[in-house]
Structure 1
Amino acid sequence: MAEFEPIVGRYLPVNIGSDQHRIFVEEAGSGIPLLCLHTAGNDTRQFRHIMNDAEITGQFRVIAFDLPYHGRSAPPDGWWLRKYRLTTAAYLDAIRAVWSALGLERPLVMGCSMGGAIVLKLAALYQNELRGIIGLESSAYAPGRYNELLHHPAIHGGELCASYTYGLNSPFSPEVNRRENWWYYSQSGPGVYQGDVHFYSLDWDAREDIGNIDTTRCKVALLTGEYDYSCTPAMTEAVAAAISGSQYTLMKGMGHFPMIEDHASFRPYLLDALTHVTSQ
């Protein structure tokens, strides 16, 4: 008999703004909903280790979805007539649309990199509807990552994006895992990574919003790798200092993609964060 992994993937028709989308969603486990948000230019495959972790899926319904234009989610009709540019408003609309379509009640939301940024805005706006957030490599403001060479006709975009992000891994993470993340990045659609970084470095600024987060209503755990030079530990420390009652942990020996680059080392940090955000 074939032995399948416990991850189940399906397509979800959902309206985001004025567009109808076919969104790919995968999940594993049961219990408290844990909605996971992938990094810029990547997709839900980054969370496969978490979805295969029986201790986590025994307590949590781990759900992840590919943003429009990403992974196995298609772009909307007419995508060829416009340049892809993610904005804070569009990002929030996409998350809320999927969250609502799935009927999630007081979920936890965990995001990494640009996902770790947007969870801060979710907590500021919708803290009464959330149980808590886990921000992986979370920053309230992250200028400097955008450049025009990320989508250029003379450059192989897939290899550039994959190699551009490869250096964000810790040098101590297993190479097989770093290369796996490289492979996922190499499959990003033309201009998608650049469009995401447009949000992350040019549109994103939550420095005033995060002070409104009430951690008695919405728990906050922040985890950042010591080798992350995109969202540095100092950037996340600034976020933690602005959110009273938040829990910040520096992940020793980790980089920018903890859930995919070294799940074994990341796991104890994640379990501790999950305990914090589910505590009464």
Structure 2
Amino acid sequence: MLNQAIQQFKLNVLSIHEVEDSHSSTVYKCNLLNGENIFLKIPYTKLKCQRELEAYEILKDRVSIPCMLDYWSGDEECPGAFLLSELKGQPLTNKNLPAVAFQIGVLHASMHQIQPPTTIRLTGIQNEFQDWSNFVERQFYSFAEDVKEVLDESLYRQSIEKFENMKMHLPPSDGPSFVHMDFRPANIIVDEDKVSGVIDFESVRFGSTEIDFTKLYRDYLSFDFSLYESYQEGYNTIRPLIDLEVVLPFYQFTDAFNSIGWCKRRGIEKNASFLMENLSILKKVLR
């Protein structure tokens, strides 16, 4: 598929390196003979490809994202491919300053400010907001089939009971908003003290913002309260932030549970460290 895409885009490639921290697509950083760096992205499925394509149309000129240089709709073997410009910088780390967290808050809120378009017919990005509770439940019980094969019976039963109990105490949904669904440091590019933008849109939905804070908190905001404060300040300059203390415990729990199911689907041995990390979060919540 890589060779097919290179031929389709007529690229003169000097070197190619696969990007490691990409879970829903295969991404290559290509150094071209003219010295330019571009990214070639091949989503795993046609649906993910269509979501990404629609996201670029929706977000263009509204949120800082890479430029889509070219697109190939694929064939029977390849679901499709994107040619993307390079955002200057590196993925976010928890060593970045509170000023960066403020900008991330602004960026995140700017995405959440976007509502379902009335002028574009969407076939990839679903609007799940009106049936949000059922959407969250469908996701949870879909992964439960895989989780059941990993957890012991007692822990699995506790998890199901915990989900049903916590779900009843959620506040009204906040939206409908454009939610990234994978808003984590690896998908946020920072150039020194400036946020360059956000990448990877194969999982996006229109739904409730409450689901979209979990991974950022887990992998970045929880390490330093000053980062958490600055992020909230930035977010509130665009739109009011919901009470995260109310919704985070539920989504931290469901994210850990669903991630265990994801590891089972993608291979336990290959994802052993991620599996152990989420087992630890799950057990902590259940205690």
TM-score grouping bracket, smaller chain normalisation: under 0.3
After TM superposition, the score normalised by the length of structure 1 is: 0.25
* Bigger helix share: 2
